[in-house]
Structures are given as structure tokens and as C-alpha cells.
């Protein structure tokens, strides 16, 4: 969460940039740089892949698949936690709505 002074400074920088180079500012104003829906889809596909690797490894008795499925599942848990924290911080900050990610 940014203090009010820093938010105000960022707004001033943004206004200066729009005034000095409108074409550059227009290139970024119409769309988000990260699509939340695309990241959610990627996260779900990674979850499915990790679970599939783990299950196939268990049924096939392949230690490598079990190992990689477990490692990727752990990494995905960390990704879920980091994503939840960033969503929580952005909603506390007021920069994004709760349902926008």
C-alpha cells in the first residue's frame, strides 16, 4: 500500500508523461499490461498438469514423475499464496476491485 504522498507523486508523473508524449501514454492507456483472466487460466492449467504428473507417477511407479509433480505442486502453492497476497494488497490499496483478478 502506497502512502498518499507517493500516490500523488505517481499521478503527477503520469500527468507529465501524458502532456509531454501523448502517443506513448496512449499506447499504454487502453489496455492492461497483464491480463488477470489469462494468468488465472495459466495457473489452473499448471495445477492440472502437476496433479496429472503426480497421479501418473504414482500409478506408473515412476519416481521422477512423482518428484516433479510434487516439486511443481509446491511451487504452485507458493504461486497461489503470492497471487492471493497481491490481490489482497491491491484491494486494500484501492487500485483494483475484488472481482477484477
Task: Return the higher-pLDDT residue of 28 and 39.
Answer: 39
40 and 87 together in one domain: yes
- Read off the pLDDT band of 30 (50, 70, 90): low
Lowest mean pLDDT among 8-12, 25-29, 32-36: 32-36
Distance CA 37, CA 59 (A): 33
71 and 95 together in one domain: yes
- Whether 31 shows a pLDDT value over 60: the answer reads no
pTM of the model: 0.53
17 and 56 together in one domain: no
46 and 9 together in one domain: no
> Cβ contacts of residue 52 below 8 Å, gap of 6+?
69
The range of the structural domain enclosing residue 13 comes to: 1-31
Long-range contacts of 2-5 (CB under 8 A, 24+ apart): 2/93
18 and 61 together in one domain: no
Which three cell numbers mark 84?
A: 492471493
Give pLDDT tens digits for 60-98: 999 999 999 999 999 999 988 888 887 777 777 665 544
Q: What is the mean pLDDT of residues 24-49?
A: 75
Q: Number of structural domains, the chain? A: 2
26 and 37 together in one domain: no
Distance CA 96, CA 1 (A): 12
Q: In the Cβ-directed half-sphere of 32, how many Cα atoms lie within 13 Å?
A: 10
Tell which residue, 98, 95, 69, has the closest CA to residue 84.
98
57 and 21 together in one domain: no
45 and 73 together in one domain: yes
Amino acid at each position: 500500500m502506497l502512502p498518499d504522498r507517493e500516490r500523488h507523486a505517481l499521478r503527477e508523473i503520469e500527468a507529465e508523461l501524458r502532456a509531454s508524449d501523448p502517443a506513448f501514454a496512449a499506447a499504454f492507456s487502453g489496455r492492461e499490461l497483464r491480463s488477470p483472466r489469462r494468468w488465472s487460466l495459466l495457473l489452473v492449467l499448471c495445477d492440472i498438469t502437476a496433479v496429472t504428473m503426480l497421479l501418473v507417477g504414482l500409478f506408473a511407479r515412476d519416481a521422477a514423475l512423482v518428484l516433479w509433480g510434487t516439486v511443481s505442486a509446491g511451487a504452485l502453492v507458493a504461486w497461489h499464496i503470492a497471487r492471493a497476497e497481491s490481490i489482497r494488497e491491491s484491494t486494500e490499496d484501492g487500485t483494483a476491485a475484488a472481482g477484477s483478478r
